[in-house]
Amino acid sequence: MKNIFLTFCLLIIGGCATISESRLYWGNYSKTLYEYKKNPSAENLAKHKNELQTILVKSKEMKLRPPPGIQAELGSIYMNEKDQKTAISYFSLEAETYPESKTLISRLMDIVSGKKEKK
């Protein structure tokens, strides 16, 4: 009886993990981020930036929310490239998709717009 209960619990936990993973499309995020962190170059940054954009497109095609932080990370890349308008648009998308991120996003938007200095 104990083994049946344990098996049942493992199936429930495993099933929940599968459902959670199936609702987010991560693409090759880990690979491109690792390559960029391991060897920070303009080429690796471009590959990672492209992967972030691909994740957003594929998520939309699959009718899924993008993973948390993807839009904000893309906004940060544009912020570092001094593309203020695009950075703010991605930060806004992140705040709309994940309302719990609004405090952080509003601070980032203040930095981009020049209201606060970056520390």
Task: Give tens-digit pLDDT for 59-92.
Answer: 999 999 999 999 999 999 999 999 999 999 999 9
**Cα 64 to Cα 18: distance, rounded to the nearest angstrom:** 15
Nearest CA to 87 out of 101, 60, 105, 100 is that of 105
Which has more confidence, 5 or 118?
118
Write the CB contacts of 71 (distance below 8 Å, at least 6 apart in sequence). 56, 90, 91, 93, 94, 97
The structural domains of the chain, with segments of one domain joined by +, span 26-113
**Three-point CA angle 67, 113, 26, nearest 5°:** 10
| Topology (CATH level 3) of domain 26-113 | 1.25.40
pTM value is 0.75
**pLDDT digits 0-9 by tens, 9-33:** 444 444 433 334 558 999 999 999 9
CA distance 47 to 106: 27
Specify the pLDDT at position 10: 46
What's residue 116's pLDDT? 62
| Confidence band, pLDDT 50/70/90 cuts, at residue 47 | very high
Sequence-ordered alpha helix ranges (H) in 23-41: 29-38
Is the per-residue pLDDT at 52 higher than 70?
A: yes
